């Protein structure tokens, strides 16, 4: 009798253990952050499913914006290679000279040899033509590659989540996204009810004349800040346009990346443009936040909103 009771107790305990293990297995988070050494899977902006088997310790960044994202989520100590154009959040040129960091060269169509030499366990590349070819070659060689190609602020937030998961910093990434979302909402809520939105011409090149279309990061910034990009009807993200088209669309505000501000009034016919006549021309080339979709995008959004709607944001 005693022996039967003992076996019964042991059977019950075994059943409890088995059931408990089953519950843990069924309800364990499959999207863990990788910090426990388990593999994680993310889907990058190319639509590629990328599995990282363990927390990467030798990460190579192929774009300045990506470097900013990596350091923002707390993965800076895991980065072993950056481009010659990466200058935030630190002076990486100085780091490279001191041997604290390695350079892989240009971010535009980089050579794969300097990347391979660093023996990376994770490579994060930029899409949109910048490093697509290198990313493809490296993937074919068996390297783990994530491609990021954000076209909106929402995409930027998504990229932070992807990089956070891939590098073992999901919690840090989630906190940053929450803070950024709050800041973005504070701005967009203020301009939400505005019906009189300025027409905005963004010039990113003067030879040839080039602006931004509806699927570009800068165009999304303009819209969120309460403006209307005059080439939102373009077929491409960065359309080559004619001078006559700008004059005909008559923008209220001009944002210039590289062109000298006083040169606009000297262009034939441009003196009749409202933005030129009212000297509503602003240089956005001074700050890389306008060209780098990353954690500092909120700074660009904040600046544009104040340019477009000073009457709302003026705290003086």
Which residues in the chain are classed under CATH 3.40.50.1980?
Answer: 40-180, 193-313
pLDDT at 25: 33
Model confidence at 116: pLDDT above 90:
yes
Q: pLDDT tens across 256-306, in order?
A: 987 777 889 999 999 999 999 999 999 987 778 888 999 999 999 999 999
> Cα separation of 259 and 283, whole Å?
8
Model confidence at 164: pLDDT above 60:
yes
Model confidence at 8: pLDDT above 80:
no
Alpha-helical regions (H) of 153-193? 153-167, 170-191
pLDDT at 7: 38
Gyration radius of the chain's alpha carbons:
25
226: left (phi over 0), alpha (psi -120 to 50) or beta: left
pLDDT at 315: 53
pLDDT at 26: 30
> Cα separation of 187 and 3, whole Å?
73
> Cα separation of 292 and 221, whole Å?
12
Match domain 40-180 to its CATH number in 3.30.450.20, 2.40.50.140, 1.20.1250.20, 3.40.50.1980.
3.40.50.1980
> Cα separation of 281 and 265, whole Å?
10
Model confidence at 132: pLDDT above 80:
yes
Higher pLDDT, 102 or 27: 102
Q: pLDDT tens across 20-38, in order?
A: 333 333 323 434 445 555 8
Q: Specify the DSSP class assigned to residue 261.
A: G
Tell how far CA 262 is from the center of its chain. Answer: 32
Task: Name the helix (H) or strand (E) containing 50.
Answer: strand 49-52
Q: What count of other Cβ atoms lies within 10 Å of the Cβ of residue 145?
A: 26
Q: pLDDT tens across 171-220, in order?
A: 999 999 999 999 999 999 999 988 899 999 999 999 999 999 998 999 99
Model confidence at 127: pLDDT above 70:
yes
Cβ(52)–Cβ(44) under 8 Å? no
pLDDT at 91: 87
Q: Name the band, by pLDDT with cuts 50, 70 and 90, for residue 44.
A: very high
> Cα separation of 161 and 198, whole Å?
33
Residues 6+ apart with CB under 8 A from 52: 34, 39, 40, 41, 42, 122, 144, 166
Q: pLDDT tens across 133-161, in order?
A: 999 999 999 999 999 999 999 999 999 99
> Cα separation of 180 and 152, whole Å?
14
Q: Specify the DSSP class assigned to residue 198.
A: P
Match domain 193-313 to its CATH number in 3.40.109.10, 3.40.50.1980, 3.40.630.40, 3.30.365.10.
3.40.50.1980
Q: pLDDT tens across 59-94, in order?
A: 999 999 999 999 999 999 999 999 999 999 998 998
């Amino acid at each position: 009798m005693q022996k039967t009771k003992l076996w019964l107790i042991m059977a019950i305990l075994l059943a409890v253990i088995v059931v408990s293990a089953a519950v843990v297995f069924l309800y364990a988070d499959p999207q863990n952050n990788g910090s426990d050494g388990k593999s994680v899977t993310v889907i990058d902006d190319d639509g590629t499913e990328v599995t990282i088997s363990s927390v990467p310790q030798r990460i190579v960044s192929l774009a300045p914006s990506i470097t900013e994202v990596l350091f923002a989520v707390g993965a800076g100590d895991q980065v072993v290679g950056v481009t010659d154009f990466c200058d935030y959040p630190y002076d990486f040129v100085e780091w490279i000279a001191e041997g604290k960091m390695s350079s892989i060269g240009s971010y535009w169509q980089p050579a794969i040899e300097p990347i391979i030499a660093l023996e990376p366990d994770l490579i994060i590349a930029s899409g949109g033509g910048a490093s697509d070819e290198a990313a493809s070659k490296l993937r074919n060689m068996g390297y783990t590659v994530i491609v990021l190609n954000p076209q909106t602020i929402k995409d930027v937030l998504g990229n932070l989540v992807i990089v956070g998961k891939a590098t073992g910093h999901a919690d840090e990434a989630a906190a940053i996204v929450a803070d950024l979302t709050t800041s973005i909402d504070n701005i967009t809520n203020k301009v939400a009810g505005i019906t009189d939105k300025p027409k905005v011409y963004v010039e990113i090149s003067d030879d040839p004349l080039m602006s931004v279309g509806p699927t570009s990061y800068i165009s999304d910034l303009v819209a969120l800040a309460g403006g209307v990009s005059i080439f939102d009807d373009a077929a491409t993200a960065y359309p080559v346009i004619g001078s006559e088209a700008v004059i005909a669309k008559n923008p209220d505000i001009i944002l210039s990346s590289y062109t000298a501000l006083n040169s606009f009034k000297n262009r034939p016919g441009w003196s009749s443009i409202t933005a030129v006549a009212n000297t509503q021309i602003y240089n956005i080339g001074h700050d890389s936040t306008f060209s780098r979709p990353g954690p500092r995008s909120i700074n660009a959004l904040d600046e544009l909103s104040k340019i477009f709607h000073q009457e709302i944001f003026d705290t003086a």
